[in-house]
Structure 1
Amino acid sequence: MGRTKVLIVVNYVLEGGLTHVLLDVLRALNNRCDVTVLTIFDLYTEYIEEIKILAKYNTLDCWRRKISNNVLLSLYSRLIMDNRAFQVFLYNYYVSRHQFDIEVAFAEDWAINVVAKSKSRSRKYAWIHTDFLCDGVNDRETLISNTRLMLQRFDRTIFVSELLKQKFTTLLSLSKTISVPNAVDVDAIYKKSLCSCDITMNQDVLNLVFVGRLNHEKGVEILIDSMACLPEEYVKRCHLYIIGDGCERKFLETKIRENNLKNIFLLGAKQNPFPYVKQSSYLILPSKYEGFGLVLIEAMALGVPCIATKTVGATEVLDNGKYGIMVDYNKESISNAIKECILYPEKRIAYQSLQKTKLQAYTMDKYREQLNTLFQ
């Protein structure tokens, strides 16, 4: 029996949890499948070089790097590559020239749209990583209806947490669903955490670290607001380190400056954030919505407890507060949790003692076994 030919379609490859999960999937499938990663948009990052070691790589956006004029590039992006019908045309042309056993939409929105409209006869999987049907989104009923129609075209829908699967299955009346929780390679993360670091955190204060995209859904704005709420005696005893980049960076810099928050440090994107996480007292994830929250189990792998808002993903990973601190999505709740961590440092030790047990649910061996069964 030959190796399964798998096409994994992503919107683009940028710094973030999705890219790290993609690399884990490629490593897990490397010995059993011939995998091709296809991006819709060719936004080059160093992670593409990592992908090329583990799989074949291609892009629908093959003209972007050939256009040097910024005006022409902007017109090309808006009028051509952002056109969903054109994306579907390019995708079907690409698939018609190759032969795959399984096509995987590995990201929401664009990737799901093109794979759902594939004309090939291969098996189709949709992989849902985030709770984009959360309450509060604009025109939620239309989004639910459109998502239901789209996912019904797939042979299997994969979710990164059991609670996320249950929510989508109920809302969309889906069948043929499975949950495949993300995994963590504890040894690899620990080795990376030993690399040199350009800062040394003051261990006499509470060191909070956030790792993620600086986008609205990650809640960094409300985290900064919660720090601004702290009384002066707590401000002196707490530092916040923000690791990541994104469309909100300039806005967040202005907010920090206007509030004169000298205990908040924007460090930018780091390919290896683990030396920073390892030094911290708590990792904090104030997301508006989260399908899993890979950074939570990565922090736990380093013995760092977590504070997280009550998203679907964090609720499952932290077992509704058993393995970490869970807070409501508002500045008062987050601020109160920070004050408690300052006043009761022993809470940190209590959570650390439970982490090894929880990590057993997210081993790479279990992950490989699930994926090999799914892609055989």
Structure 2
Amino acid sequence: MKKILFINGHMNTGGVEKSLLDILRRLDYDCYDVDLLLLEELGDYGAEIPSNVHIHVKSLKNTYGPFLKSLITCVKVRDWFGLKMRVIFLLMKFGGQERIALAKKLLTANQHYDYVIGFRPGICTQIAAFAVHAEGRATWWHHGEINVERQSYLECAQACDKIVAVSHACSKMLADAFPTISNKLTVIPNMIDKSCILQKADEFCPYSRKDVHQIVTLCRLSPEKHIENAIFAAQKLKEAGIAFQWHLVGSGVEEAKLRKTAVAAGVADIFLFEGNQTNPYPYLKYADLFVHPSYVESQGIVILEAMALGIPCIVTKSLGPCEFIQDGVNGILAEQTPESLAQKVNAILTDAQLYARIQRGSHCPEKFFPEYTMSGIERLFRV
């Protein structure tokens, strides 16, 4: 039986965490002994993690901020783990990130693994690259842009055996940015577990009104998602006399700003903030239309989930979605402007034939089925 370690920050709702949860659900625990190291907290998905997984929460929250302040915090709350890690982080600052190897005993009690996976760039990958005894190492790449300190990431990637990208477009982006690691790149897409999605989608119906179109956007409320474009598109649709409610499911750092934008645009009555939902699938299933305004997507799990539920999708062009959406066939691609979003939404809601055509074509491509993803992961573990 092979011993595997996954490293991530937390298991709160989010695309990366959903991807990791899906993998953990599908692993064969007759073949793998799995540890999950979390560096912040357990999170919303904690109850859904299989009982076979050994969960270790080693919170680094008290190490955040200036050195002296974090030391004082750690001492006050008797967080001796955090205190030691903060000193190691200081040594890394002056002696290089390889110094995180000093934390092997703190993080994993010097256990030996057949394979370790840093499921995010940054500290998760630093630990996987330098602070775990393992036969094989991999880092996962989930982002549609290069949003890391390049030299630091390159050093970690060079210490790993594989760099897993979730789409071919992301793999090419990484190869162009870091040519020296291109031979280590492999593509393993995030899976879409349709049976699980369908089961959860039937748990409740979130929409009470039947006399208006129900539009939904589901994502983290962060700058790269450009939710403001959806708000301004809603403003234009309201001015055009379209009867609708637009539901925004998710939370994040942009929420307060976006609420003010909705008020200023005069759409606070129809652009509705639904907050974070541990089960967002009913919002997709019972919607008439899914709209995704993000400028940056490595793959776009939620888009594929909406397609698996047969919901027509309008998606702003970005790396990942352009790999699987055929414009006008199984979805509609929009430019990165509120004008384009509004025009596309208006078109599909006022053209019954267009709506029916997109709805017929809306389904999850086979390459995102669980068996395809899991076969790639099993190949990865053959070290």
| TM interval, short-chain normalised | 0.7 to 0.9
Alignment partner, residue 127 of structure 2? 114
Alignment partner, residue 92 of structure 1? 104
Report the alpha carbon displacement of residue 130 of structure 1 after superposing the two structures with TM.
1.1
Alignment partner, residue 163 of structure 1? 169
Report the alpha carbon displacement of residue 206 of structure 1 after superposing the two structures with TM.
3.0
What letter matches 1:251 in structure 2? K
1:36-55 correspondence runs (5 A): 36-42=35-41, 44-51=42-49, 53-55=51-53
**Count of residues paired in the alignment:** 357
What is the CA deviation profile of residues 326-360 of structure 1, one whole-angstrom value per residue up to 9, with x for unaligned ones? Answer: 1122222212212212222322221222234x532
Report the alpha carbon displacement of residue 25 of structure 1 after superposing the two structures with TM.
0.7
Alignment partner, residue 230 of structure 2? 223
What is the CA deviation profile of residues 131-152 of structure 1, one whole-angstrom value per residue up to 9, with x for unaligned ones? Answer: 231xxx7xx8xx4444333312
- Preserved CA contact (<8 Å) 1:104 1:127: yes
Report the alpha carbon displacement of residue 163 of structure 1 after superposing the two structures with TM.
1.5
1:346-357 correspondence runs (5 A): 346-356=353-363
- Distance in 2 (CA, whole Å) between partners of 1:53 and 1:197 is 30
What is the CA deviation profile of residues 282-320 of structure 1, one whole-angstrom value per residue up to 9, with x for unaligned ones? Answer: 211111211111101111111102111111111113146
- Distance in 1 (CA, whole Å) between partners of 2:87 and 2:340 is 42
- Asked if 1:295 is matched to 2:302, the reply is yes
Contiguous gaps of at least 5 residues in structure 1:
65-70
What letter matches 1:85 in structure 2? F
Alignment partner, residue 375 of structure 2? 369
What letter matches 1:183 in structure 2? M
- Preserved CA contact (<8 Å) 1:27 1:54: no
Taking a change above 3 Å as real, the CA distance of residues 59 and 197 of structure 1, as seen in their structure-2 partners, is same
Alignment partner, residue 6 of structure 1? 4
Report the alpha carbon displacement of residue 129 of structure 1 after superposing the two structures with TM.
0.9
Q: Which secondary structure does the structure 2 equivalent of 1:53 belong to?
A: coil
What letter matches 1:35 in structure 2? V
Taking a change above 3 Å as real, the CA distance of residues 177 and 81 of structure 1, as seen in their structure-2 partners, is same
- Preserved CA contact (<8 Å) 2:117 2:140: yes
What letter matches 1:12 in structure 2? H
Contiguous gaps of at least 5 residues in structure 2:
63-68, 93-99
- Distance in 2 (CA, whole Å) between partners of 1:350 and 1:96 is 57
- Distance in 2 (CA, whole Å) between partners of 1:318 and 1:193 is 23
Report the alpha carbon displacement of residue 217 of structure 1 after superposing the two structures with TM.
1.7
- Preserved CA contact (<8 Å) 1:209 1:280: yes
Question: Taking CA–CA contacts closer than 8 Å with sequence separation of 6 or more, which of the two structures ends up with the larger relative contact order?
Answer: 1
What letter matches 1:56 in structure 2? H
What is the CA deviation profile of residues 25-60 of structure 1, one whole-angstrom value per residue up to 9, with x for unaligned ones? Answer: 112224331111111222x42322322624111122
Between 283-292 and 311-320, the greater mean CA deviation after superposition:
311-320
Equivalent residue in structure 2 for 1:153, among 138, 159, 179: 159
Report the alpha carbon displacement of residue 118 of structure 1 after superposing the two structures with TM.
2.6
- Asked if 1:105 is matched to 2:114, the reply is no
- Preserved CA contact (<8 Å) 1:201 1:279: no
User: How much is the aligned-residue C-alpha RMSD, in angstroms?
Assistant: 2.8
Aligned identity (percent) is: 23
Report the alpha carbon displacement of residue 199 of structure 1 after superposing the two structures with TM.
2.9
Report the alpha carbon displacement of residue 114 of structure 1 after superposing the two structures with TM.
2.4
- Preserved CA contact (<8 Å) 1:213 1:246: yes
Equivalent residue in structure 2 for 1:208, among 199, 215, 221: 215
- Preserved CA contact (<8 Å) 2:24 2:50: no
Taking a change above 3 Å as real, the CA distance of residues 219 and 80 of structure 1, as seen in their structure-2 partners, is farther
- Preserved CA contact (<8 Å) 2:215 2:287: yes
Report the alpha carbon displacement of residue 194 of structure 1 after superposing the two structures with TM.
1.0
What letter matches 2:354 in structure 1? K
- Distance in 2 (CA, whole Å) between partners of 1:319 and 1:278 is 21
- Asked if 1:316 is matched to 2:317, the reply is no
Alignment partner, residue 292 of structure 2? 285
What is the CA deviation profile of residues 100-159 of structure 1, one whole-angstrom value per residue up to 9, with x for unaligned ones? Answer: 1111010122212222223634211011111231xxx7xx8xx44443333122100111
- Asked if 1:328 is matched to 2:335, the reply is yes
Equivalent residue in structure 2 for 1:193, among 177, 189, 201: 201
- Distance in 2 (CA, whole Å) between partners of 1:191 and 1:80 is 45
- Asked if 1:337 is matched to 2:344, the reply is yes
1:58-97 correspondence runs (5 A): 58-61=56-59, 75-76=73-74, 85=89, 88=100, 91-93=103-105, 94-95=107-108, 97=110
Taking a change above 3 Å as real, the CA distance of residues 320 and 350 of structure 1, as seen in their structure-2 partners, is closer
